Structure 1
């Protein structure tokens, strides 16, 4: 953590996007110029685009919009907000503290060393380019009441982004957000609890904000940034506060109305509604036309045999 402290201090110095000499950086942080060079290499491995010009020093390609707890808490009431710039996984951090957290507690990070997505996939998490957020929620109705919750959270996030000017953001069954048929964000909900008791949920979200093209080369599908979807990209602290507030409000509403109260809202912003798709369930492929979701959160797929609900699997546009 001490090394991270030095590196984060270096990031703070470079965040203005101006040139800083190795000597000036070393004096500001209290380390040698040689040590600055070594730390710069680590920051570059985190996904920060830092370059050096002889006689001028080091600079980021562009100014960095860093997260700040005070700025976020000035815009939203949050019972517990942890900002851990460098973390293995925000979801894992929350899971390790289930039972100690108040409902609505949030963890944010600038960089995840072991971010994860659905089905155990890695979630690419370059420093400061995106938004990595996890929220803890206690669901007193139990684990069965969590069915379809990723759909509810997807609606909450999409509507929040639309309120910030990203009018074309859509949801993709069961846990993604899309912009013009490209992945913008993913949702991962992890749950613990016993049958007949309250469910402890950790709701994780990774949102592409301003990730550079070279940072996303390892992503195995078409992806988009929020800056493409917005006429004016919102400041990241405002973005975080807006998402936290909308998630809190939506989860409270969900406890009152259940998934029934979200079917129409989902179908209104469903990226694949009334489009020909293929559904992958293990090795099986089902082709049909997507007709939204039902009150159990199942995908409704119309084939020659009629409309059939499906709970599991992944969908993509037919032919993709």
Structure 2
């Protein structure tokens, strides 16, 4: 597995996508930056990180063995890989907030941004961006954020943490290649934040409603049980969990 280490870059995902577009990204190629000046999160949000305190990296994976309709299994595999890595690092009370934020003790410690390379309606590759708060202790304006240091009281070696995550990504992508979709989905659902707990949501029209997360569909939509035991299905950007 080849790793490119950069002092600073606007976005590791953007850099890796450019390598992919030039045919220079082999399976497992990883780009790590000490400082990311324009890190991106889901739904156009900004991922802010102090220099050399956290992990900001992207991994290219060959996913040509998947159908385009199975794209959310990539997100499941990556979320589960980060979950397993954090478990191995001694982090507790971990949950996956749909679609792929990683929380510990109800605070966000990692975000995942997946950008698939699609040609002629076929997914040929996936650029997986991961931001993990490791040794940062102050998050101004972000009361819902935490880090490995804040959770454990221990300073972590960034290279060691990266190695643990990349190993788990390989393990879970082996499950993907083996088409273990049912077990991946079951494991992902077992870790869903606020599953089967009364929660409040806001839909794309701005309407606020109550319900219970019961799981996800095979296409990655969030399934919420509302009044009269009706199950509603929400795609990405169609609903926000307010708690």
What's 1:157 paired with?
82
**Cα distance change on mapping 1:124 and 1:145 into 2, 3 Å:** same
What's 2:99 paired with?
174
Unaligned runs of 5+ in 2: none
What's 2:224 paired with?
301
What's 1:81 paired with?
3
Contact 2:79 2:102 in 1 (8 A): yes
Q: Relative CO higher for 1 or 2, CA cutoff 8 Å, sep ≥ 6?
A: 2
Deviation at 1:270, TM superposition (A): 1.8
Deviation at 1:142, TM superposition (A): 4.3
* Post-superposition CA distance 1:76-121 (Å, at most 9, x none): xx2x110102111110110001121111110111110111111122
Does residue 292 of the first structure (1) align with residue 202 of the second (2)? no
The partner residue of 2:119 within 194, 200, 212 is: 194
Which has the greater radius of gyration?
Answer: 1
What's 1:48 paired with?
none
**Alpha-carbon distance in 1 for matches of 2:194, 2:78:** 18
Contact 2:203 2:240 in 1 (8 A): no
So what's the TM-score if we normalise by structure 1?
0.69
Q: CA RMSD in A?
A: 2.0
Deviation at 1:205, TM superposition (A): 0.6
Contact 2:201 2:210 in 1 (8 A): yes
Contact 1:142 1:196 in 2 (8 A): no
Contact 2:6 2:31 in 1 (8 A): yes
SS in 2 for 1:201: strand
Contact 1:86 1:111 in 2 (8 A): yes
Higher percent of residues as helix:
1
Unaligned runs of 5+ in 1: 1-77
Does residue 132 of the first structure (1) align with residue 61 of the second (2)? no
Deviation at 1:231, TM superposition (A): 6.1
**Alpha-carbon distance in 2 for matches of 1:188, 1:157:** 13
What's 1:93 paired with?
15
**Cα distance change on mapping 1:126 and 1:174 into 2, 3 Å:** same
**Alpha-carbon distance in 1 for matches of 2:205, 2:121:** 34
Aligned length: 237
**Alpha-carbon distance in 1 for matches of 2:130, 2:199:** 25
